[in-house]
Amino acid sequence: MAFMISQRAFIKIYLITMVERHRGYGYQMLESMKDEFSGFGYVPPQSEVYRALHELVQEGVFYRTKRLKGTDPRVDFQEIVLYHFTDDGEEKARLYKKQVKADLDRCLGMLHKAEQDNYS
């Protein structure tokens, strides 16, 4: 068993939640996570976010679609990749988040114990 939760698992649960909430494409997800965690001094590496998205696609949780970023195809040439749940992806995501929740609870317990034992 790992000492603490892995960074990839941490990123994956946020990506799953963002897709549940229909929150944009890869770069938007990355920027959202940067904003969310900047106050904690954590900046998720771009490479890890895209690796996590790729793994979720490979694991059959997400599938990808492409579309132009803007609404006018005559001037908007930037293509973005959107992520959606596969037919059974929501169930796979729910099970994954449940597993990660158990790891988070274990890690929180260890951190709270360390704080109490060493800083009380």
Q: Please indicate, yes or no, if residue 2 is contained in any of the structural domains.
A: no
What's the confidence (pLDDT) of residue 74? 67
- Measured CA to CA in angstroms, residue 119 lies from 4, 94, 105, 113 at distances of 20, 36, 21, 10
Total number of domains constituting the chain: 1
Residues 112 and 30: their CA atoms lie apart, in Å, by: 29
Q: Residue-wise pLDDT tens for the chain (120 aa)? A: 788 999 999 999 999 999 999 887 999 999 999 999 999 999 999 999 999 999 999 999 999 999 888 777 666 678 899 999 999 999 999 999 999 999 999 999 999 999 999 998
Residues of the domain holding 108: 7-119
* Residue partners of 5: CB distance under 8 A and separation at least 6: 100, 103, 104, 107
What's the confidence (pLDDT) of residue 68? 82
Q: Please indicate, yes or no, if residue 64 is contained in any of the structural domains.
A: yes
Q: Please indicate, yes or no, if residue 93 is contained in any of the structural domains.
A: yes
What's the confidence (pLDDT) of residue 73? 67
